Structure 1
C-alpha cells in the first residue's frame, strides 16, 4: 500500500521574540529560521523517518500531491531537494506563471510559548481535474489517501472520485480549522478522521471524548475518529466496537516546550504510521501512545529532525 498525502506546501519564516509585539511596536527577534511547512508536508517529513527505521515489511511508498510555483523556481527546487527520493513529488501540480511559493510568517513568543501565523498564498487552488490527472499513475494500489481538508468542497469531489475509481482505497481527513464550512460533510465520507482541539471547541465540545463520541453518530462510514487535546493527550474511537481509548500527553520529567509548530502534524504522522505500517501488529492503544510520544518529543525540540528513534523505542 502507498500513502498519498494531499495538502498545501508552505515555506515558513519563523521569528522567535521575547514576547508578542504590540501594535506599531518595534521589537528585536532573538532568532530567525526558515523551513518547509504545511500540514501534509510536515507529516510526511516525520513519516519518512519512521519508515526508514522500520523493517522491509513495513516500508510504504510516500507521495505528496500539492500546488507548487514554476518547476524551475528556487522554491520548487528546494522543496524537491528536501524530500526526494524518500517522498515522491512526481505528482505535484506546478503553476508555471508564479515564482513565489505559499508562505507563512510565524512569530514565536518565548514568554508564552504561543505562535502567531500570517499566511500568504497567491497560487490558485487545485481543481478536481488536476487531482484526477495527478493520481492517475500512482502505484502500488490500493492506496491510502490523506487529505488536509483545505478546500472542503473540492476535497469532497476528490474523495468521491477515489471512491468511484479506487474502491479499495482508504481515506483519512483532517478536520482542523474552526469555522471552515464543509469539514463535517467531508468527515462523513472518510474512513479515518483527525479532529483538532480548536475545531472541537469551536463546535461546542468540552473534551476530546465528547467530540469523538458525538461526531461518531454523524459519520456512519467512518471506522476511526481521533481527537487531540494538547496537554490532556488524545483519544480515539473505533466505531465498530464503540470503545474510546485515551492516551495521556507525553510529558517526561524535565520536558520543556520549545517548538509547538507542527505538533498536530507529527501526531497524525504517528497515527498514519501505526495504521498503515503496524496495522496488524500494534493495538490501537499502542498506536495512540506512540503518536502522542512522537508529538511530545517534537515539541521539546526545534523542527522535525531526529524523530525516527521514537518508533524504535516504542517497538
Structure 2
C-alpha cells in the first residue's frame, strides 16, 4: 500500500508586515522567509514526520505527483532535496521548457493574523493521459490517492480512471476554494472529503456540522466527511453509522497565533495518518483529536518543523 498525493508544489515567499498595506501604500516588512509550499507537499512533509516518530506503525510509502519545472532548474533541485528520500518525487511531471516553479507571494499581517496570497504559475497542468502513465508506473498502485481540489474537470476524470483501474484504492479530496466550479462533483466521487470553512460558508452553511450533515445527502460514495472551522475546531461524520464527532481547536496555555499558513494541510496530514496508519486501533474521536492538535501546534509556530513530536505528546 502507498499514499499518492496529487497537487501543486509551490515556492513560497513570505513577507511579515505590521499591518496589511493599502493600495499604493509603502510599508517596511519585519521579516522575509522562503520555503517550499503547496497543499499536498505540506501534508506530506507533516506525514513523513509522524511516520518517523512512530516506526512501529504501519509504514506507508509517500509519493508526490506535482508539476515541476525542468529537472536541471534550481527550483526543482531544491524541492527534491527538501523531500527525498522520505517522500518520493519519482512520479512528478517535469516541464523541461520552464525554469520557474509555481510561486506564491504571501503577506502576513501581524495586526490581524491574516495572510493575503498572490500566486504565479505558468506551468501547464497535468493531463489525464499523464496521470494514467503515472498510475501504470507505480510499484504498489493499490492504496490511497489524495487530491488537492484544483483543475476539477481533470481531477474528476483521474478519480474515475482509478475507480475503473484500481477499484480497491481509497480516494480523498480537498474541497477548499470557494466558488471554484466542479468541487461538488469531486466530493461526490471520493471516499473521504475535507471541507474548508471558507468553502462551506460560501456554499451557505453556518457551521461545520451543518456542512457535513447536508453534504452527506449529496456524497453517496463517501464514508467520512470532515470540515474545519477555525477557532471552533473541526467536525467529522461517518456516513454509514451517522456518528458525528466534534473536536475543539487545540489552544494550550499561552497559545498565540504565529503562522496560519498550511494549518489546513497539517490537519489533513493528521487525519490521513490516523486513517491509514492507525486504522481501527484509533476511533474517530482520537483521529480527529490528533489532527486538531497538530493543526493547533502548527499555528503556534513558524513553518512545519518538529511537528512529529506532537505524536509522542498525544
Q: TM-score, normalised by structure 1?
A: 0.99
Q: Deviation string for 1:179-206 (max 9, x for gaps)?
A: 0001001100000000000000000000
CA distance in 2, matches of 1:294, 1:26: 36
User: Does 1:4 find its partner at 2:12?
Assistant: no
User: 1:279 — aligned with what?
Assistant: 279
Q: Secondary structure at the match of 2:137?
A: coil
CA distance in 2, matches of 1:174, 1:109: 26
**Which stretch shows the higher mean deviation, 207-216 or 52-61?**
52-61
Q: Deviation string for 1:70-93 (max 9, x for gaps)?
A: 010000000000000000000000
CA distance in 2, matches of 1:296, 1:240: 29
User: 1:169 — aligned with what?
Assistant: 169
Q: How does 1:19-168 map to 2 (within 5 A)?
A: 19-168=19-168
Q: CA RMSD in A?
A: 0.7
CA distance in 1, matches of 2:141, 2:92: 19
How much has 1:21 moved relative to structure 2? 0.5
CA distance in 2, matches of 1:234, 1:205: 14
User: Contact 1:237/1:243 (CA < 8 Å) preserved in 2?
Assistant: yes
CA distance in 2, matches of 1:9, 1:133: 20
CA distance in 1, matches of 2:37, 2:202: 24
How much has 1:141 moved relative to structure 2? 4.0
Q: Secondary structure at the match of 2:174?
A: strand
User: Contact 1:2/1:139 (CA < 8 Å) preserved in 2?
Assistant: no
User: 1:200 — aligned with what?
Assistant: 200
How much has 1:313 moved relative to structure 2? 1.7
User: Contact 2:10/2:37 (CA < 8 Å) preserved in 1?
Assistant: yes
CA distance in 1, matches of 2:173, 2:282: 22
User: Contact 2:193/2:226 (CA < 8 Å) preserved in 1?
Assistant: yes
CA distance in 2, matches of 1:308, 1:250: 16
Q: How does 1:203-214 map to 2 (within 5 A)?
A: 203-214=203-214
How much has 1:136 moved relative to structure 2? 1.6
Q: TM-score, normalised by structure 2?
A: 0.99
User: 1:184 — aligned with what?
Assistant: 184
CA distance in 1, matches of 2:26, 2:38: 28
User: 2:289 — aligned with what?
Assistant: 289
CA distance in 2, matches of 1:182, 1:53: 37
Q: Secondary structure at the match of 1:257?
A: coil
User: 2:263 — aligned with what?
Assistant: 263
Q: How many residues of Structure 1 are paired with residues of Structure 2 in the alignment?
A: 314
User: Contact 2:144/2:169 (CA < 8 Å) preserved in 1?
Assistant: yes
Q: Secondary structure at the match of 2:179?
A: coil
